[in-house]
């Protein structure tokens, strides 16, 4: 498993595909938001992209977050389905449990930084022993 994820993380092919994936995801989000604004608007900040071979999903306004200490409108960030613990700072910047001492201007940049740090490794559930 380690070999596979490492190959995914380091492969130049995956890097090239990532560029295409980013473009496609951005286009699709923009199109659906413009075409059906009343029916099912895509909430601002929603992201579904492949970055360096990992799927980053960011949704807003939903549940699924553990604990009661976060604001209800806080986005949920997932990397290959695993939730990344994130937090908003008073100045509007963001941190995650992977990059906890460095701030990012938006959750997407935070998620991409986590992907780079993970080097293919999966996230494990919050706070637990792996």
| Cβ count within 10 A of residue 34 | 10
| Cβ count within 10 A of residue 129 | 5
Shortest distance, position 27 Cβ to other proteins, whole Å: 31
Stretch that binds other proteins, among 21-29, 36-44, 53-61, 117-125 (CB under 8 A): 117-125
> For residue 102, how many C-alpha atoms fall within 13 Å in the half-sphere facing its CB?
8
x/- letters, 44..83, toward other proteins (CB under 8 A) = -----------------------x-xxx------------
Give the single-character DSSP code of 127. T
Shortest distance, position 9 Cβ to other proteins, whole Å: 9
Binding to other proteins by residue 88, rule CB under 8 A?
A: yes
Is residue 103 within a helix (H) or strand (E), and if so which, with residue range?
A: none
Shortest distance, position 90 Cβ to other proteins, whole Å: 4
Shortest distance, position 130 Cβ to other proteins, whole Å: 5
Indicate the SS3 state at residue 62: coil
Task: Give Cβ neighbours of residue 30 (< 8 Å, ≥ 6 apart).
Answer: none
What residue ranges bind other proteins (CB under 8 A)? 6, 67, 69-71, 85, 87-91, 97-103, 117-119, 121-124, 126-127, 129-130
């Amino acid at each position: 498993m380690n070999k596979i994820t490492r190959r995914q993380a380091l492969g130049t092919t995956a890097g090239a595909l990532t560029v295409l994936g980013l473009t496609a995801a951005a286009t699709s989000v923009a199109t659906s938001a413009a075409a059906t604004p009343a029916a099912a608007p895509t909430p601002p900040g929603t992201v579904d992209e492949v970055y360096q071979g990992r799927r980053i999903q960011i949704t807003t306004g939903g549940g699924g977050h553990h604990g009661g200490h976060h604001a209800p409108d806080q986005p949920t960030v997932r990397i290959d389905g695993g939730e990344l613990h994130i937090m908003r700072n008073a100045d509007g910047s963001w941190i995650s449990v992977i990059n906890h001492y460095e701030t990012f201007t938006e959750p997407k940049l935070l998620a991409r930084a986590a992907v780079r740090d993970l080097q293919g490794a999966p996230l494990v559930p919050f706070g637990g022993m792996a």
